[in-house]
Amino acid sequence: MKPWRLVTGLLIVTALLSAPAAIRPTAAQALPPWMEAYRPAMLPDFVPDMAAYEDAPRYTIDLAIAIDEQGVTLTGSQSVIYTNRTGSTPLDEIVFRLYPNLESYGGEMQIGAVTANGEAVDPALDETRSVLRVPLAAALEPGDRLTIKLDYTIVVVPGLSRLYAQFSYLDGVLALPNAYPVLSVYEPGRGWWDETAHTQGDAVYSETGFYTVHVTAPDDLILAASGSEVDLVSNPDGTLTHTYVAALMRDFILVGSTAYVSMSGEQDGVTVTLYYDPARPEAEANTRAGLEIALNSVRHFNAQFGRYPFAELDIVQTPTRAGGIEYPGLIVITDDSWNREDVFFEFVIVHETAHQWWYSLVGNDQRLDPWLDEALAQFAVAVFIREQQGAAAYEAAIESFRSQYNQYLERFPDAVIGQPVEDYTEGGAYFYLVYQKGPLFFADLADEFGYDAVIGMLRDYFAAYRYEVAEPQDMLNSFEATLGEDLNPLFEEWVGPFPVG
Ligand SMILES: [Zn+2]
Distance between CA atoms of 99 and 343, rounded to whole angstroms?
A: 32
| 95 CA to centre of ligand 1 in angstroms | 26
359 C-alpha vs ligand 1 centroid, how far in Å? 9
Task: Output the DSSP codes for 266-335.
Answer: EETTEEEEEEE-TTSTTHHHHHHHHHHHHHHHHHHHHHHH----BSEEEEEEE--SSSEEEETTEEEEEG
* Among 147, 4, 6, 168, CA closest to 72: 168
Distance 218 CA to ligand 1 centre (A): 32
- CA 202 – ligand 1 centroid, Å: 9
pTM of this prediction?
0.93
Max intra-chain CA distance, the chain: 70
C-alpha to C-alpha distance for 338 and 317, rounded to whole angstroms? 7
CA of 23 to the centre of ligand 1 (A): 46
Distance CA 362, CA 469 (A): 6
Q: How far is the CA of 208 from the centre of ligand 1 (A)?
A: 19
Q: How far is the CA of 415 from the centre of ligand 1 (A)?
A: 20
- The CA 371 to ligand 1 mean position distance, Å, reads 9
CA 5 to centroid of ligand 1, rounded, Å: 12
d(CA 322, CA 200): 10
Three-state secondary-structure class, residue 467: coil
Domain parsing of the chain, residue ranges = 53-256, 261-339, 370-494
DSSP reduced 3-state for 342:
coil
How far apart are the CA of 376 and the centre of ligand 1, in A? Answer: 9
Domain 370-494 has CATH 1.10.1470.10: no
Please report the pLDDT score of residue 1 as a whole number.
75
Closest C-alpha among 414, 410, 444, 441 to residue 429: 414
From ligand 1's centre to the CA of 351, what distance in Å?
6
Q: How far is the CA of 370 from the centre of ligand 1 (A)?
A: 9
CA of 85 to the centre of ligand 1 (A): 29
For residue 7, how far is its CA from the centre of ligand 1 (angstroms)? 13
* Dist. CA 355 → ligand 1 center (Å): 7
Q: Give me ligand 1 centre to Cα 40, in Å.
A: 28
Q: How far apart are CA 1 and CA 322, in angstroms?
A: 7
Helix (H) / strand (E) element for 152: namely: strand 145-156
CA angle (16 as vertex; 13, 17 as ends), nearest 5 = 140
Low-confidence ranges of the chain (pLDDT < 50): 5-26, 500-501
Distance (Å, whole) CA 464 – CA 460: 6
**382, 396 Cβ separation under 8 angstroms:** no
CA trace torsion 165, 166, 169, 174 (10° rounding): 150
User: Is residue 167 within 8 Å of residue 176, measured between CB atoms?
Assistant: yes
Query: For residue 490, how far is its CA from the centre of ligand 1 (angstroms)?
Result: 23
Residue 197's pLDDT is what? 85
Q: Sheet holding 108-116: strands in order across?
A: 119-120, 108-116, 145-156, 71-83, 58-68, 209-218, 239-249, 228-234
pLDDT at position 500: 45
What's the gap in Å between 78 CA and the centre of ligand 1? Answer: 29
* 421 CA distance to ligand 1 middle (Å): 13
* Ligand 1 center–CA 438 separation, angstroms: 12
Bridge partners of 60? 79, 212
Q: With residue 403 as reference, give the H or E element that holds it.
A: helix 391-411
Closest CA to 200 of 429, 357, 376, 406: 429
The pLDDT of residue 77:
98
CA atoms within 13 A on the CB side of 265: 17
pLDDT of residue 14: 32
Q: State the helix-helix crossing angle for 343-354 and 370-389, rounded to 10 degrees.
A: 120
| Per-residue buried b or exposed e for 414-436, using 16+ beta carbons within 10 Å of the residue's own CB | ebbbbbbbbebeeebbbbbbbbb
According to the model, what pLDDT value does residue 70 have? 81
| Of 182, 246, 243, residue with least CA distance to 215 | 243
Span from the CA of 381 to the centroid of ligand 1 (angstroms): 11
Q: How far does residue 471's CA lie from ligand 1's centre (Å)?
A: 17
- The CATH number of domain 53-256 is 2.60.40.1730: yes
Q: Which residues surround the ion ligand 1 when the cut-off is CB under 5 Å?
A: 1-2, 374, 377
Residue 300, pLDDT score: 98
Q: Is the CB of residue 269 less than 8 Å from the CB of residue 279?
A: no
Predicted confidence at residue 26, as pLDDT, reads 41
Rounded distance from Cα 226 to ligand 1 centre (Å): 18
Residue 72 pLDDT = 97
Q: What is the CATH number of domain 261-339?
A: 3.30.2010.30
